[in-house]
Amino acid sequence: MSSSVKRAFKYRFYPTPEQAAELSRTFGCVRLVYNMALQARTQAWKLRGERVNYGASSAMLTAWKKTAELAFLNEVSCVPLQQVLRHLQTAFVNFWEKRAEHPTFKSKKRSRRSAEYTTSGFRYRDGRLTLAKMTEPLQIVWSRPLPQDATPSTVTVSQDSAGRWFVSLLCQDVIEHAPVVGAVGIDAGLDSLLTLSNGEKILNPRHERRDRAALARAQRNLARKEKGSANRAKARLKVARVHARLADRRRDHLHQLTTRLVRENQTIVIEDLTVGNMVKNHHLARAISDAAWRQLRGMLEYKARWHGRTLVVVDRWFPSSKLCSACGVLAQQMPLGLRSWTCRCGAVHDRDVNAARNILAEGLSVIACGGGVRPQRESSRTRRSSVKQEPPGATQGIPVL
């Protein structure tokens, strides 16, 4: 059994000076058009109570290009400019349907530098990708092959804060569903990143701790530089490279871990953790952020949909640590420092393993009887329920790997 999904394959590339200059101009124009369209739509609502749609925004863009002040918008490809208007329309739809906050302006320093090209804005032939307004193909490092006979429908070019260039190609792919029958409950932690209901503990690699000294040196060096100077820009780049190295290692580890869990188990049960509230604890905020539980959950969600698995999210208030997995008795007190305890029935429990077993039992009861889970909040991208299972053959989400 298999399913057809849309997947974005991300690669690093090295542009020529001319290509880098063209893409930098495109990023700037994309940001400018987005901000101008957002301002026009906001003012139209405040002054006249009028909702400006994509068609009206596109007409505004045509008029802007004809003015002397904004004539430079004609120097870049029109495809990314139209795409950013479509993205703004999607942001407003999510806001009107109360799935997201009101769109905000893009900052030159903090916003992601990216541009999206549809099929009319690029040419892909024999593994060579050429963007509009460019004569030479991009020098892409093909770290892995695209699906056989795949043709990209969308190409997104981006540059991160460390100065690295990436291109993401959206393609249709077919994923085979390998039959498995296992079920696993997962308890997230800090000493052990994950504890499984079968007793296995996956150690927390603590990526941030390994580079903490290097990051501190780079940040001290940045603080000593004069604002606006070239040396400060160089120092900022060094800080960004340390952060990028940390993020790359963390993402790679989570990808390997979640892929293994999805391939080995048909049913996966996790807790609904409120990471946003947990990081308010200043003693544990750094360690919780480094563990990246929210990123891990997101990977499990879309990979479970890809492979036809069932993902159950248990209510955050379920007392998984206090409940005895042998007799079901609820302990009155369970301090955080207590890592093992003995129930009055005589069962000796490892705190994390016991919690994982209780999470698994609760998740299986939800599948069998329903109820017992907290309804999840809808995200701005998809409407998700507490029990996640997609029928084979359905088109799924588009995460970037």
The class level of CATH for 183-203+249-388 reads alpha beta
SS3 assignment, position 322: coil
pLDDT band with cut points at 50, 70 and 90 for residue 374:
very low
Per-residue b or e along 8-44, where b marks 16 or more CB atoms closer than 10 Å to that residue's CB = bbebebebeeebeebbebbbebbbbbbbbbbeebeee
**Paired tokens of 387:** 């029990």
Average pLDDT on 14-39 reads: 97
**Is 266 in contact with 183 (CB distance < 8 Å)?**
yes
Q: CB neighbours of 317 closer than 8 A, spacing ≥ 6?
A: 374
Quick check: 370 pLDDT over 70?
no
Q: Report the catalytic residues.
A: 187, 271, 352
Q: Percentage of the chain with pLDDT > 70? A: 92
Q: Domains of the chain: which residue ranges?
A: 2-176, 183-203+249-388
State the pTM of this model.
0.83
Q: What span, in angstroms and rounded, lies between the C-alpha atoms of 290 and 202?
A: 15
Mean pLDDT of the chain: 89
Q: Dump pLDDT digits (tens) for 287-335.
A: 999 999 999 999 999 999 999 999 999 988 888 888 898 888 888 888 8
Measured from the Cβ of residue 299, the count of other Cβ atoms closer than 10 Å reads 21
Strands 128-131 and 267-271: unpaired
Q: What span, in angstroms and rounded, lies between the C-alpha atoms of 139 and 131?
A: 12
Strands 165-176 and 154-159: antiparallel
Q: Dump pLDDT digits (tens) for 67-117.
A: 999 999 999 999 999 999 999 999 999 999 999 999 999 999 889 999 999
Least confident range of 61-65, 179-183, 187-191: 179-183
Q: CB neighbours of 59 closer than 8 A, spacing ≥ 6?
A: none
pLDDT at 325: 87
Quick check: 336 pLDDT over 90?
no
SS3 assignment, position 241: helix
pLDDT at 306: 92
